[in-house]
Amino acid sequence: MTATIELDAKGLDCPMPLLKAKRALNNMSTGERLRITATDQGSMRDFRVFAEQSGHRLLSSEESAGGVYIHLIEKA
């Protein structure tokens, strides 16, 4: 079973959700997953670009009720 670590970045503006995610990923093992919840609309673009540049896999990125964005990244 793959471990999933939760990161609550709600209420934080760019670039803080991405910076907190990078810090969390640095402490994770390959194959572990990071689930980020954020309210920053720019996080949709930020995490897509970050995954493309870093080599990590963006497994999903969606907007849920109430303007909360949920991103799931698998560490490369």
State pLDDT tens for residues 45-54.
999 999 999 9
Query: Thinking of the domain 4-74, which architecture would CATH place it in?
Result: 2-Layer Sandwich (3.30)
| Domain residue ranges in the chain | 4-74
Q: Which residues are catalytic?
A: 14
Which of 29, 34, 31 has the alpha carbon at shortest distance from 43?
34
Residue entry with tokens 């930020």: 46
State pLDDT tens for residues 38-76.
999 999 999 999 999 999 999 999 999 899 999 999 999
Q: Are 68 and 38 in contact (CB under 8 A)?
A: yes
Q: pTM of this prediction?
A: 0.94
User: E strands along 1-76, which residues?
Assistant: 4-9, 33-38, 57-64, 68-74
Using CB atoms within 10 A of its CB, is residue 21 exposed (0-12), middle (13-18) or buried (19+)?
Answer: buried
